[in-house]
Structure 1
Amino acid sequence: MKKIAIYIYMLAVKVIGCLTRLFPVQQKVVFLISFEENPAAILKQMEHDKVIPNTVVFYDPRLNVTKISLDFLKLKPKNIAQFIPLMFHLNTAKVIVTDNYFVELAGVKLRHGASCIQIWHANGALKKFGWEDKAAQQRTAADKKRFQAVYKRFTNVVVGSDEMATIFQKSFLQDEAQMLKIGVPRTDYFFDEAKLQANTEWTLKSLKLSNKKKLLYAPTFRDDELHSTSLHLNIAELKQALGDEYQLILKLHPSISNDLEKLEDDFIVYANKETPIETLLPVVDILITDYSSIPFEFALLEKPMIFYTYDLQEYNKARGLSDDYLETIPGPHVFTTTELIEEIKKASFDLEKVRQFAVKWNKYSDGHSSARFVSLLKERLEK
C-alpha cells in the first residue's frame, strides 16, 4: 500500500511539474524548509540588505515560523492542500533555496538561469546521510532513482569547511565546483556577543534555571524512536551523583513527534521542541550529545562536550557514522550513565582540541555568511 501511495504521489509530482512549466520563470525566490536557523538568518539578512524579491516560504508544518514571519514573505505550510501551489512556485522560481531532502524537487526542471541552492540544516556531520546513508542503500531501485533525481536538482551546496564539502560531494553526488564555500548562515549568531548575551538572559528566565552549572543532553533522533521516544539516561543516578552541583537540561530532536513523560524534579529541566537549541547553548557548561551536528556550533563557544554513545555499534550498522568518528569528536565518548558521571567529575577536558575542531569545521564561517549568501542571491536574481 505504501509503495502504491508513493507511486501515485510521484506521478502527480511529475504531471503537475510538467503543467506548471508552461508558465514563465518569475523573479522570485522560493524557500523549501524543515528547520528554522539557516532560513531565518538569510531572510533577516535579505531584509537588512533590502534584497526583497517576491519570496515564498514553504515550511514543514511542525516548524515554528513565528521568528521568520517578515512582512515581505508569503508563508505557506507544506501540506497536501498546498501541493499545486508548491509545484507552481518551484517550477517558476528564479532561485530555489532548500535545507533538506524534499521529494517534490524531483518534479522540478530548472530553466535557463535558474538555481536550486541546498543550504542544509547543519554545518558538520558525524553520521552519514543522503547517498552515504546505509539505510538508503538498502532501499529499492525505484527509491534510489528518486533520491538521485532530487540530488540532481541541487545546482550548489553551501558549506562552511573543506571537510563538509567532501562529505556533501559523496552524500549528494555533487562535484567540487558545486560547493559554495561561503560559510553557514546559522553560525553568524555565534559571533554576535549581544545576541548570545540576550539568549543567555532569556534562557535563564524562561526555563527558570538555578545558579548551578548546566548540563545539556541533546541526542540525535533514531529512526525507530521517531514516534516512540525513550530516554537512555539514568536520571536518578545522575541526580544522586551530580545534583548538588549541576542541573540537567533535556532537548529532544525537533523531528520527534512524541514527548517524554516528564518527571517532576528540580534536577531536570525540559526545553520544548520549538525552542531553537542555539538559544540554549550560551548557558551550557557541558554538552552531552552523540551523533548530532550540534558540536560543530557548540565548539565555537570553546566549551567541553561528552559523547554519550550507548548504541554506537548499532547506530553505525543501521545509519553509518563518519569513517573516523572517534578520532573526529572533540571530547570523550562513554557508553553508560556511570561512565558519563565519571567524565563530568573528572573534568579533564581538552579545550584546545575543541578550539581546533571549531576552526577546522567552521573555516568559512566568520560571522558574515548570511551577508555573502544574500549577495550571491542578488547576483543569481539579476543574472
Structure 2
Amino acid sequence: MKKVIYIWLVKLVSRWKRVKDPQDIVYLMSFAGNEHLIKAFAELAKQLGRNFTVLYLPQCQAAATKLAAEGIQTVEFTDGFDFVFHKLQLVMQARLLLCDNYYAFLSGCAFDHQQTHVVQLWHANGAIKTFGWEELTTAQRSAADKRRFQKVYDQFDEYLVGSKKMAQVFAQSYHVPRTRMNVIGYPRTDELFDKNWQMQVSQNIKQKYPDIIGKEIILYTPTYRENSAGKPVMNLPEDFYQLVNQLSGNQRLIIKLHPHVKAAEKQLKQQLNSDKVIWVDDFSTNDLLLVADRLITDYSSVIFDYSLLPNAKQILFYCYDYDQYAQQVGIQADFKSWIPGKMVTTTADLINEVQQPLEATDFTQFNRLWNTANDGHATERVLQTELKYIQK
C-alpha cells in the first residue's frame, strides 16, 4: 500500500512539475563506471547551453564527488518525500533522461514523450542473470506490482545495447517491442579499447603490486549473492582454500569481491593467508582485468568486458552452486551454450583447470554474439543519436 501511495504521489507531483518545453539533460546513476559518457554529455550540454545534472544514489558518492570536482552538477537522491517534492522536478525538466537501471519511481512519472526522450543505458554489457519478467520472483508478485513494473519498462523510449543478443534479452525480459532497441554499442566499453588507458593502469597496478610482475595472474571475481533475507553473503565451498595450496610458484591469485561483502572478505583473508593471494582495494575490477591472464568468475557480467581486452586468455566458470542459483535467482536459459570457457562445479575440477598449461582462448565468436557493436566508438554514436532529441 505504501508503494501505491508513493507512486500516486510521484504521479501527482510530476504532473505539477512538468514543463511545456523541457530543455535539460539528466542522468540517473546507480552504478559508477560510465563517467566517460557522463563527461561527454556534460560537454555537449555546455556547448548547447543546456543544463546537465547527474542524479545519483548514495552508493555512487565517490564517483559523483569526482564528477562534481570537474564542474558537473551532481545531486544525491533516494526515494522519499524529499525526492518527490524537491528533486523530482529535475527529472521532469529533462528533454533527455538517461537511466542506467530500473528506477521504480519512473512508473509514476507523467512524461510527455513527445517532449522528453527516456533512454535505458543499463549497467552491464550483457546478461547472465535473469531480470524483469524472466526473474523467478516476478511470477510471485501481486498483479499491482506487475502493472507497476511494466509501467517502468514502458517508459523507456529507447534501449541502447551492444548486440542483437542483448536486445533480444531486453525485449523478452521487459516485454517491450524490438523496435525500441538500438544496437549502437555500450559506451562503458569504449575505455577498454583505449591503449593509453590500458598501459597506464597496467603500469600503476604493477608498480603498486610488484610481486605480480612476470607471474601468471589469476583474477577471481565472484558475483554478488544474497541470502533469503536479502542480506549479502559469501558462501564459498569449505574446500576453496585448497585452490591456494595448489597454485604453482609462478601463479598469483587476486581476489576481488563485491563491496557489499566486506565482512566476509575480512574472514576470507584470515582463511586464505598466503603470499600467493593478493587482495586489492585500490583498483577497480575493470582495472584488474588488465593484468589477468585467467579470469575465474561465475554469473558476473565482467566476462563481457574481459573478452574485449588484448591480454584476455582464459575464463573459467566456477559455478559451485549452479543448480541452487538457477532455481533461486535465475540464469539465462542458453547460458551453457555460449559461455567462452569451461564451467566447473567443484573446487577439485577448478584446481585441475588452473594447473593446466595456459592456452589463449579465441573470443571471436563470443564477441560477435555479445559485443557486436562495441568498437571503442560507442560514445560518439550515442551523442550523435541523442542530439536529435535534445534539439527537437
Q: Which runs of 5 or more residues in structure 1 are unaligned?
A: none
Tell me the residue number matched to 2:236. 232
Work out which of the residue numbers 214, 218, 223 in structure 2 matches 1:215.
Answer: 218
Work out which of the residue numbers 36, 51, 54 in structure 2 matches 1:41.
Answer: 36
Cα distance in 2 for partners of 1:140, 1:42 equals 37
Structure 1 residues 85 and 173, CA gap change in structure 2 (3 angstroms): farther
1:189-204 maps to which residues of 2 (within 5 A)?
A: 189-204=191-206
Q: Deviations over 1:310-344 (max 9, x none)?
A: 11111111222111111110000111211111011
Q: 1:130 Cα shift? A: 1.4
What SS is found at the alignment partner of 1:157? Answer: strand
Cα distance in 1 for partners of 2:69, 2:202 equals 24
Q: 1:26 Cα shift? A: 2.6
Q: 1:45 Cα shift? A: 2.5
Work out which of the residue numbers 2, 6, 18 in structure 1 matches 2:3.
Answer: 6
1:288-299 maps to which residues of 2 (within 5 A)?
A: 288-299=296-307
Tell me the residue number matched to 1:157. 159
Structure 1 residues 275 and 102, CA gap change in structure 2 (3 angstroms): farther
What SS is found at the alignment partner of 2:24? Answer: strand
Tell me the residue number matched to 2:97. 96
Q: Is the 8 A contact 2:234 2:264 kept in 1?
A: no
Cα distance in 2 for partners of 1:230, 1:157 equals 33
1:116-135 maps to which residues of 2 (within 5 A)?
A: 116-135=118-137
Cα distance in 1 for partners of 2:84, 2:208 equals 37
What SS is found at the alignment partner of 2:130? Answer: coil
Q: 1:94 Cα shift? A: 0.5
Tell me the residue number matched to 2:68. 69
Tell me the residue number matched to 1:313. 323
Q: Which moved more, 1:326-335 or 1:10-19?
A: 10-19
Q: 1:246 Cα shift? A: 1.9
Structure 1 residues 295 and 250, CA gap change in structure 2 (3 angstroms): same
Structure 1 residues 220 and 41, CA gap change in structure 2 (3 angstroms): same
Tell me the residue number matched to 1:278. 286
The TM-score with structure 1 as length reference comes to 0.91
Tell me the residue number matched to 2:55. 58
Tell me the residue number matched to 2:180. 178
Structure 1 residues 236 and 313, CA gap change in structure 2 (3 angstroms): closer
Q: Which moved more, 1:228-237 or 1:134-143?
A: 228-237
Cα distance in 2 for partners of 1:68, 1:266 equals 37
Q: Is the 8 A contact 1:99 1:119 kept in 2?
A: yes
1:325-336 maps to which residues of 2 (within 5 A)?
A: 325-336=335-346
Structure 1 residues 124 and 255, CA gap change in structure 2 (3 angstroms): farther
Cα distance in 2 for partners of 1:345, 1:317 equals 31
Tell me the residue number matched to 2:77. 78
Q: Deviations over 1:175-204 (max 9, x none)?
A: 121111110001111111110111112223
Q: Deviations over 1:112-154 (max 9, x none)?
A: 2311100001111122111211122221212111111110110
Q: Percent identity?
A: 32
Q: How many residues align?
A: 376
In the alignment, is residue 248 of structure 1 matched against residue 216 of structure 2? no
Cα distance in 2 for partners of 1:360, 1:210 equals 33
Cα distance in 1 for partners of 2:194, 2:294 equals 21
In structure 1, what residue type is equivalent to 2:56? Y
Work out which of the residue numbers 360, 383, 386 in structure 2 matches 1:374.
Answer: 383
Q: 1:46 Cα shift? A: 3.1
Cα distance in 1 for partners of 2:141, 2:337 equals 30
What SS is found at the alignment partner of 1:321? Answer: coil
Q: Deviations over 1:282-319 (max 9, x none)?
A: 01111111111111111112421000111111111122
What SS is found at the alignment partner of 1:378? Answer: helix
Q: Deviations over 1:77-136 (max 9, x none)?
A: 122444433311112210110011111111212222311100001111122111211122
1:132-147 maps to which residues of 2 (within 5 A)?
A: 132-147=134-149
Q: 1:207 Cα shift? A: 5.1
